[in-house]
Amino acid sequence: MEKLMIRGGRPLCGTVQISGAKNSAVALVPAALLAESEVVLDNLPIISDVAVYSEILQELGAVVKRDGDMMRIDPSKLSSKPMPNGKVKLLRASYYLMGAMLGRFGEAMIGLPGGCNFEPRPIDQHIKGFEALGATVTNEHGSIRISAKQLRGAKIYLDVASVGATINIMLAASRAQGLTIIENAAKEPEIIDVATLLNAMGAKIKGAGTETIRIEGVARLHGCRHSIIPDRIQAGTYMIAAAATRGDVLIDNVIPKHLEAMTAKLEEMGVQVIEMDESIRIVGGPGYSSIDVKALVYPGFPTDLQSPMTTLLTQAKGVSILTDYVYGTRFKHVPELARMGANIRVEGRSAVIEGGKLNAAKVRAADLRAGAALVVAALTVEEGITEISGVEYIDRGYDNLVENLRRLGADVWRETDLDSSS
Ligand SMILES: CC(=O)N[C@H]1[C@@H](OP(=O)(O)OP(=O)(O)OC[C@H]2O[C@@H](n3ccc(=O)[nH]c3=O)[C@H](O)[C@@H]2O)O[C@H](CO)[C@@H](O)[C@@H]1O
Ligand SMILES: C=C(OP(=O)(O)O)C(=O)O
């Protein structure tokens, strides 16, 4: 295992290129399994979640070729195979194999997903959707077995606007007989990206990005070429890091519309945000005001930016309150920030943050965005070196992090974490 070493105190300055979105990529790669010929994905992020997914696809018999940010997936020789354990346990989004394999073969046997377990993350709405489509779903020793002689379109109301359930139902329903209507669907941009890919493969999906999605099932899907949308969470993290270090950073290859909640909150604090067509410039200032933030489903402030935003709020004057209405206990970054001198208390689903300087410390990333919060914190520290272990979580979602930060002037490097290997 490795750890990140950061000597902070330098304002980030320059330009950073944002890669394709993790949460799109981990859905688009399994979506390709529904095609009967080659799918080419461009602008894929180089992150461990995608690397693991490509290994899973090869175990299932797909031919996968990767060249930088491009991946060719030929699923024509794919076979239906149970995947109870192994790599599916390494990432959360392995649940998309359920919808993809069910759509392609009428059956799937997949182990329960792994990934960042910052709190219990049920998949009851995914299962409710598969059952509504006519599948039988059983839990066998921690694996989900799903089978259907013939998937049939249905009207499905989601109790919560779940990103994963919306996409999983779209995947399976693309190959069902007749019309599926998802009500109270999630509206995240990654859902539109998946629908765009599926439609390019021959699916008939309308309404993605709204709360009602209509999917007219088709008999077969074919290959295509698709470019993945930019990662709004990665972009938001760099926006936060630029503001926290009082820097001046141009964040390039973004869709500013996807970052409206982030932009609004930064402006409210007193950060200068300049939006262009495909980039956003952040100009930090000497002092920021405390604010309240509510993490909500899209287009609200994203829960995936809640942890790094907590760090930024330690740099504001006074008391800020950050409430997470999506994941009410996603606060594993808080005790680690406290080791760095932060004054934060968790009350119910809120973090109450009092502004103040942070110190260097040895800290541990317990999940992906908790890791991002610690990286931003370390960049603000004026004296000493912060050591962040648990880098494997950060590598799940940040393409080229160390190089990007170095190009922006940060003093950051990786070292072998001898403590974790002993
Ligand atoms: C791979 C991927 O895209 N991950 C994202 C996805 O996760 P994921 O798709 O797992 O998150 P969901 O949108 O499903 O979860 C939203 C809320 O619904 C609840 N819920 C969800 C499903 C279900 O069957 N039952 C249920 O109760 C969850 O506990 C949570 O409180 O959306 C989350 C919310 O934006 C993000 O934090 C994750 O980065
Ligand atoms: C929670 C996240 O991802 P996942 O759902 O893949 O664990 C995230 O990206 O912040």
Full pLDDT tens readout for the chain, 422 residues: 899 999 999 999 999 999 999 999 999 999 999 999 999 999 999 999 999 999 999 999 999 999 999 999 999 999 998 887 888 988 889 999 999 999 999 999 999 888 777 888 899 999 999 999 999 999 988 899 999 999 999 999 999 999 999 999 999 999 999 999 999 999 999 999 999 999 999 999 999 999 999 999 999 999 999 999 999 999 999 999 999 999 999 999 999 999 999 999 999 999 999 999 999 999 999 999 999 999 999 999 999 999 999 999 999 999 999 999 999 999 999 999 999 999 999 999 999 999 999 999 999 999 999 999 999 999 999 999 999 999 999 999 999 999 999 999 999 999 998 887 54
Is 92 a known ligand-binding residue? yes
The separation between the first and the last C-alpha atoms of the chain, rounded to the nearest angstrom, is 10
Domains 2-18+230-421 and 22-227 share a fold: yes
- The helix-helix angle for 368-380 and 306-313 (nearest 10°) equals 20
Return the pLDDT at 83.
86
CB 228 within 8 A of CB 22: no
Catalytic annotation, pick one of 116, 250, 313, 358: 116
pTM (two decimals): 0.97
Euclidean distance between CA atoms 84 and 121, whole angstroms: 18
- Which architecture, in CATH terms, is 22-227? Alpha-beta prism (3.65)
**Which candidate, 219, 195, 224, places its Cα nearest to that of 207?**
195
ipTM of this predicted structure? 0.99
**Which candidate, 355, 375, 370, places its Cα nearest to that of 313?**
355
- Which architecture, in CATH terms, is 2-18+230-421? Alpha-beta prism (3.65)
**Cα→Cα distances 77→36, 59, 81, 421, Å:** 9, 11, 12, 39
The CA-based dihedral angle spanning residues 298, 346, 265, 300, taken in that order and rounded to the nearest 10 degrees: 10
Return the pLDDT at 419.
80
**Cα 117–Cα 300–Cα 405 angle in degrees, nearest 5:** 65
Is 326 a known ligand-binding residue? yes
How far does residue 164's CA lie from ligand 1's centre (Å)? 6
Q: Which atom of ligand 2 is nearest to the CA of 397?
A: 9
342-351 burial: b if 16+ Cβ within 10 Å, else e? bebeeeebbb
Is 69 a known ligand-binding residue? no
Length in residues, the chain: 422
Annotated catalytic residue 224: no
Return the pLDDT at 1.
86
Return the pLDDT at 418.
83
Q: Which sequence spans correspond to the domains of the chain?
A: 2-18+230-421, 22-227
Three-state secondary-structure class, residue 386: strand
- Protein residues with CB under 6 Å of any ligand 1 atom: 23, 26, 92-93, 121-126, 160, 162-165, 186, 303-304, 326-327
